[in-house]
Amino acid sequence: MPGKVLGVLGGMGPEATVAFLAKVVEKTPAERDQDHLHVVVDMDPSVPDRTDALLSGRTGPVVEALSRMARRLVGMGAELLAIPCNTAHVFLDEIREAVPVPVLDMIGEVVETVTGATSHLKRVGLLATTGTVRSGLYRRRFSEFGVEILEPPSPDQGRLMEGIQAIKAGKHGEALNSFRDVAGNLAEAGAQVLVTGCTELSLLLPRWEPPVPCFDALDILAEAAVRETLR
């Protein structure tokens, strides 16, 4: 069995977790079953809503749930953990403190990828949950490279959140127009590239032609998971 055992904190949401696993398989350099990664998944949708927790200040139950998941995965043999949920990365330090194995930093991987791939980058448009936006996760990390984050104005952010909830309910078509409109508005406001900083929004990308280059956090996390698992 090649590499480390990869553990995935899943269920946030379930469909995005499945998409992440598919990307890991696609990106693994394999010619037979035995060349693929050993992956253990805790698909636990009972984790409280991360945005609701951040906006209300009641983050304790989320931290407890994520820490339990991480410990369960380590108990299943995981040697490296990945969290295919952007907003959950607000609690990355607490999760790392809960386990003795490395936990990938999706936000850091995205920032490194975007800044490394784009010349003269000044403005990035962020498509994410209200929790991720309010937390400043991406804003702080991009500012270290002198890059400004453009966030949707309140009406557009509201439409985006309605779309994210529709995706979680399996209604992708209902979310697509809002997603296109908000992304287009960010591009018109000066975003040179876009970041899909919500794994639900990643599910819409096969049906969408971006107005400017778009970097998908879910895809970038899968690349990092394969790279670090095989290292």
Decide if 167 contacts 201 (C-beta within 8 A): yes
Query: Other CB atoms closer than 10 Å to residue 177's CB: what's the count?
Result: 11
Active-site residue, 214 included: no
Give dist(CA 147, CA 21) in Å, integer.
Answer: 31
Residue tagged active-site, from 12, 65, 85, 218: 85
Run of H or E residues at 115: helix 106-117
CB environment 60-86: b (16+ within 10 A), e (fewer): eebbebbbebbbbbbeeebbbbbbbbb
Give dist(CA 103, CA 82) in Å, integer.
Answer: 6
Decide if 81 contacts 104 (C-beta within 8 A): yes
Q: Give me 117's structure tokens.
A: 């791939």
Query: Other CB atoms closer than 10 Å to residue 97's CB: what's the count?
Result: 11
The amino acid occupying position 92 is: L
Radius of gyration of the chain (CA): 17
Decide if 88 contacts 51 (C-beta within 8 A): no
Residue tagged active-site, from 90, 161, 183, 198: 198
Active site residues: 85, 198
